[in-house]
A and B are shown apart, each in its own frame.
Chain A
């Protein structure tokens, strides 16, 4: 008997800490089929519908005034609300991780609150606070500064729904890194700002980028909260998502899906960058992203 046949005849043992091959295959198949139906199919459908009349028709609809205004407005909103939320995130993370005070857990709960509030309710809150019927809103409108059905309201609504993103990303990272490096820099005579720019920021920059990335994706795609506060005025307060809704309801499927494809590409780029960050800078991200 040759060696080869003997190896073949040897009974195969399966480690006791593994499922049987049949069970593994079944589970993998369920995962693949499930994700294909639930995630990949909608993703592909966007592009199929957008290109239903060819690339030309799709591009032409993107060049229409409605689409161009919507894209410009959405970029403006993101350019204002994302940096503001980034500043908030850094300040909140600094306050929470560098100081000890009572009610810290409560403060974190309050920061997380927008995640458990429906975007529609968020929009409703802003309408109730700044609408023409309210005390503040009435006064602001009388002084020529309308918030609801105007840019400030849309920005506030966007900031509400994306509020926790950056802070949530930074807090666990900064807790893990501790205060020792900053304390050393201070002992050596560095000023507060110098410590922040040369010690803290380099340590948290990838986590900050990660949070900003997610915040931006959500800011550009927000629909529910913006739909409530914007009034969806064409050319003035219609963002990309609300324009998609208007086009879709006018049975302009190609135009609606072409704009949707733009947002989908943004989502894919976001996911790609996010995956790259997780692969290359895992040590600087919150522990839950390391897999």
Chain B
């Protein structure tokens, strides 16, 4: 390749900024992740598989990914709806709602965890209501689902909002002039334009939910095989000083979430190509 690694530039500070960037990136992020991968390499693929293939680990991984998927799907639908309402409609309290969307980003997960538990426990405000119809939320998989919906709430709304703002009204007018009903325009004109951004938000919410720990452990009940999430299992292994097993579960989680992000990226590329712009 004839291209130089770094183009000559009159800008000052190349050495300093590159030095700080690469040193800190290595120290804080890359070397620790490398330590995990090295541990996994020493343990061997067979060892990792033996650890993951235990009933309890398998159940935890399956639970984490299944509920994260459901929560991200809920957030996909609700997030697009919320973005549409916040951008297109004017009503009292809109600014407050807009600011509230970011609360799950700003509120520490442990706080969210104990607060949701207080609400949804059988003696809590919502828990008592649900108990009347015989629906138990806290300490069941429903509780985990609600915590994951909470932490993933802002992602889809925040990625879709700017796209809705950019939509030219002429597009909708053209569609209406050609005889399309409003519903038809929304489904066949607006929705395809929002799809790539919505999928990005969906992927971010999913990644966040899979790794979530703080908001979930309080409301989950943490019963092995039923409501025990994968990150908690890592902590349990660490407390038993079984570093190999902890590393194996950690690597399995990394691999599965990277694979999911890859699939979603491919879907995004496909949906961008389908609607004809990049």
Q: Name A residues whose Cβ lies closer than 8 Å to a Cβ of B.
A: 16-20, 24, 27-28, 30-32, 34-35, 37-43, 45-46, 49, 84, 87-88, 91-92, 94-96, 98-102, 107, 110-111, 113-122, 124-129, 131, 133-134, 156, 159-160, 163, 179, 182-183, 186, 191-192, 195-196, 214, 217, 220-224, 227-228, 240-242, 244-245, 248, 253, 256-257, 260, 263-264, 267-268, 270-272, 274-275, 287-288, 290-291
Contact = CB atoms under 8 A, between A and B. Distances in A.
Nearest to A34: B78
A206 to B, nearest CB: 17
Interface in B14-45: 14, 16-18, 20-21, 24-25, 28-36, 39
A20 B186 CA distance: 13
A123 to B, nearest CB: 8
A163 B211 contact: no
Contacts of B81: 27, 30-31
B12 A16 contact: no
Contact of A99 (B6, B97, B108, B124): B6
B30 A110 contact: yes
Given A128-B32, A160-B28, A271 B102 contact: yes
A102 B13 contact: no
B11 A179 contact: yes
Interface centre among B25, B149, B185 (most CB of A within 10 A): B25
15 contacts: A20-B182, A41-B119, A91-B24, A95-B18, A117-B33, A117-B254, A118-B231, A120-B250, A121-B254, A127-B238, A129-B31, A221-B111, A224-B211, A256-B114, A260-B115
Given A124-B238, A163-B29, A42 B110 contact: no
Contact of B158 (A87, A117, A156, A288): A288
A117 to B, nearest CB: 7
A261 B29 CA distance: 31
B7 A120 contact: no
A103 to B, nearest CB: 8
Q: Which 5 A-B pairs have the closest CB atoms?
A: A118-B211, A221-B108, A192-B12, A16-B176, A125-B32
B3 A28 contact: no
Contact of B114 (A121, A214, A257, A275): A257
Contact of B89 (A24, A179, A290): A24
Contact of B213 (A20, A113, A224): A224
B9 A248 contact: no
B119 A42 contact: yes
A110 B99 CA distance: 30
B48 to A, nearest CB: 14
Nearest to A32: B97
B93 interface: yes
Nearest to B153: A38
A118 B216 CA distance: 13
B62 interface: no
B13 to A, nearest CB: 5
B49 to A, nearest CB: 18
A163 B32 CA distance: 13
A264 B182 contact: no
Interface stretch (B50-58, B161-169, B269-277): B161-169
A28 B149 CA distance: 20
Interface residues of B, number: 101
Contacts of A163: 25, 28-29
A222 B210 CA distance: 17
Contacts of A222: 108
A99 B20 CA distance: 15
B211 to A, nearest CB: 3
A291 B98 contact: yes
A291 to B, nearest CB: 5
B267 interface: no
A257 B116 CA distance: 12
Contacts of B177: 16
A192 B16 CA distance: 11
Given A267-B107, A270-B106, A42 B116 contact: yes
A229 to B, nearest CB: 10
B220 interface: no
B234 A121 contact: yes
B103 A39 contact: yes
Nearest to A241: B110
Contacts of B29: 110-111, 113-114, 160, 163
A39 B257 contact: no
B243 A223 contact: no
A16 B182 contact: yes
Interface string B148-189: 011001000011011001000100110011000010011000
B110 A91 contact: no
Contact of B6 (A42, A100, A160): A100
